[in-house]
């Protein structure tokens, strides 16, 4: 039996799977984040830790855990909260939860795109605020998606799932990625690989699906917004810091782009004041993968990763190199 620490409430099936084989020595059974101090205390002596994206896993964390630590299983696909080289240096395995959240997250991105281009959030606010309204030929017109161009930044699994949805809605898809798509998928999607400048200039909607890395931080900055069409929208369901939020506010203010749909923010859970009062933005509280089914699958996968590593087997979805 090894010692497993779970730093936040996760779906019960995953807790049960871990408890069946190991000592779950600490389980923070609450949806509010554990404090940093409490977490550093809790991880002491752990062989495995299950973490959420709200927790920073760095040298301080690894020191607190101790040399016996074998695996950190993040219940998220994005793992910018984990210092991967620090884990590798100590021979600790890090894992994430790709694939199981692909469709749900693409649904969120697509939902944001519909909401912002069709002004659904704005319309909902009109009714809720008891503002008088009536159907009108020119009332609250948005932009149709049919025959428009969607520019996908980062054509991984979620980007591809977004492209499939866009195709079903009659959109053309262009993308930027370091890699060329598999020929079969490229043909299915009719997606064309372009350079970033071309994507910015041609897209009616730019949707971000890349990981947060040093190279993608503030990828969407003042310069990028200036290259977009004035009628174009930005959708971000990836990670907040990929967008320079102050520059986004300035671009919206100056009319350099038409609007934005955001599920993630630069300094979560804080949202830039300049966004809060704007009707041309749709703001969601990081709901990308938030379905019962998907969160359960994510936690189950994290548990499987822990169980594999503790049993001396290969993890299913590692982010560290062995
Ligand atoms: C959610 O944001 C994730 O990375 O899984
Ligand atoms: C709109 O409500 C229509 O009937 O065209």
The tens-digit pLDDT sequence of the chain (322 residues) is: 999 999 999 999 999 999 999 999 999 999 998 999 999 999 999 999 999 999 999 999 999 999 999 999 999 999 999 999 999 999 999 999 999 999 999 999 999 999 999 999 999 999 999 999 999 999 999 999 999 999 999 999 999 999 999 999 999 999 999 999 999 999 999 999 999 999 999 999 999 999 999 999 999 999 999 999 999 999 999 999 999 999 999 999 999 999 999 999 999 999 999 999 999 999 999 999 999 999 999 999 999 999 999 999 999 999 999 7
Specify whether the CB–CB gap between 147 and 155 falls below 8 A: no
Specify whether the CB–CB gap between 94 and 322 falls below 8 A: no
pTM of the model: 0.94
pLDDT at 290: 98
Distance of CA 29 from the midpoint of ligand 1 (Å): 20
Q: Which ligand is nearest to the CA of 137?
A: 2
**Environment class of residue 270 by beta-carbon count within 10 Å: exposed (0-12), middle (13-18) or buried (19+)?**
exposed
Which atom of ligand 1 is found nearest the CA of 239?
2
Which among 165, 272, 286, 295 is annotated as catalytic?
A: 286
Instruction: Identify the residue whose C-alpha is closest to ligand 1 atom 1.
Output: 76
Distance of CA 136 from the midpoint of ligand 1 (Å): 40
Distance of CA 141 from the midpoint of ligand 2 (Å): 13
Which atom of ligand 1 is found nearest the CA of 76?
5
CB neighbours of 284 closer than 8 A, spacing ≥ 6? 108, 112, 261, 262, 263
Q: Is the CB of 51 under 6 A from ligand 1?
A: no
Strand partners, 48: 4, 71
pLDDT at 151: 99
Instruction: Identify the residue whose C-alpha is closest to ligand 1 atom 4.
Output: 78
- From 80, 158, 288, the mutation candidate for ligand 1 (largest count of ligand atoms within 8 A of CB) is 288
Strands 172-176 and 71-74: unpaired
CB neighbours of 3 closer than 8 A, spacing ≥ 6? 22, 23, 25, 45, 46, 47, 48
- CA distances to 14, 16, 128 from 293, rounded to whole Å, are 13, 17, 30
CB neighbours of 281 closer than 8 A, spacing ≥ 6? 116, 252, 259, 260, 261, 262, 275
Instruction: Identify the residue whose C-alpha is closest to ligand 1 atom 5.
Output: 76
Burial annotation 31-63 (CB, 10 A radius, 16+ → b, else e): eeebeeeebeebbeebbbbbbbbebebeeebbe
Q: Is the CB of 34 under 6 A from ligand 1?
A: no
Which residue pairs from 65-69 have beta carbons closer than 8 angstroms and sit at least 24 positions apart in sequence? Answer: 69/43
Specify whether the CB–CB gap between 113 and 314 falls below 8 A: no
* Residue 239 annotated in active site: yes
* Residue 268 annotated in active site: yes
Tell me the ipTM for this assembly: 0.62
- CA distances to 102, 155, 210, 317 from 182, rounded to whole Å, are 18, 11, 17, 21
| HSE toward the beta carbon, residue 266, CA cutoff 13 A | 20
Distance of CA 230 from the midpoint of ligand 2 (Å): 28
Q: Which ligand is nearest to the CA of 299?
A: 1
Q: Which ligand is nearest to the CA of 288?
A: 1
Q: How far, in Å, CA of 62 to CA of 39, rounded?
A: 11
pLDDT at 322: 77
């Amino acid at each position: 039996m090894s010692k497993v620490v779970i730093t936040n409430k996760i779906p019960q099936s995953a807790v049960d799977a871990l408890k069946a084989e190991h000592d779950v020595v600490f389980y923070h059974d609450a949806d509010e984040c554990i404090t940093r101090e409490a977490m550093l205390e809790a991880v002491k002596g752990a062989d495995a830790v299950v973490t959420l994206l709200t927790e920073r896993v760095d040298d301080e964390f690894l020191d607190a855990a101790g040399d016996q630590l074998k695996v950190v299983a993040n219940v998220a696909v994005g793992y910018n909260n984990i210092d991967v080289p620090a884990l590798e240096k100590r021979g600790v395995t890090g894992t994430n939860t790709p694939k199981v959240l692909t469709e749900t997250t693409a649904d969120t991105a697509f939902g944001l795109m519909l909401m912002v281009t069709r002004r659904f959030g704005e319309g909902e606010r009109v009714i809720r605020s008891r503002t008088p309204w009536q159907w009108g030929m020119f009332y609250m017109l948005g932009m149709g998606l049919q025959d428009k161009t969607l520019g996908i930044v980062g054509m991984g699994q979620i980007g591809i799932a977004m492209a499939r949805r866009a195709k079903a809605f009659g959109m053309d898809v262009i993308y930027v990625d370091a890699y060329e798509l598999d020929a079969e998928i490229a043909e299915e999607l009719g997606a064309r690989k372009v350079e970033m400048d071309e994507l910015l200039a041609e897209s009616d909607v730019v949707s971000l699906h890349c990981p947060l890395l040093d190279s993608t931080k503030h990828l969407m900055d003042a310069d990028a917004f200036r290259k977009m069409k004035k009628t174009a929208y930005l959708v971000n369901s990836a990670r907040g810091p990929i967008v320079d939020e102050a520059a986004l506010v300035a671009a919206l203010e100056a009319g350099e782009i038409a609007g934005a749909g955001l599920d993630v923010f630069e300094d979560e859970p804080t949202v830039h004041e300049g966004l809060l009062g704007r009707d041309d933005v749709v703001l969601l509280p990081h709901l990308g993968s938030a379905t019962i089914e998907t969160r359960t699958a994510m936690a189950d996968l994290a548990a499987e990763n822990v169980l594999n590593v503790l049993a001396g087997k290969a993890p299913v979805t590692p982010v560290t190199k062995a």
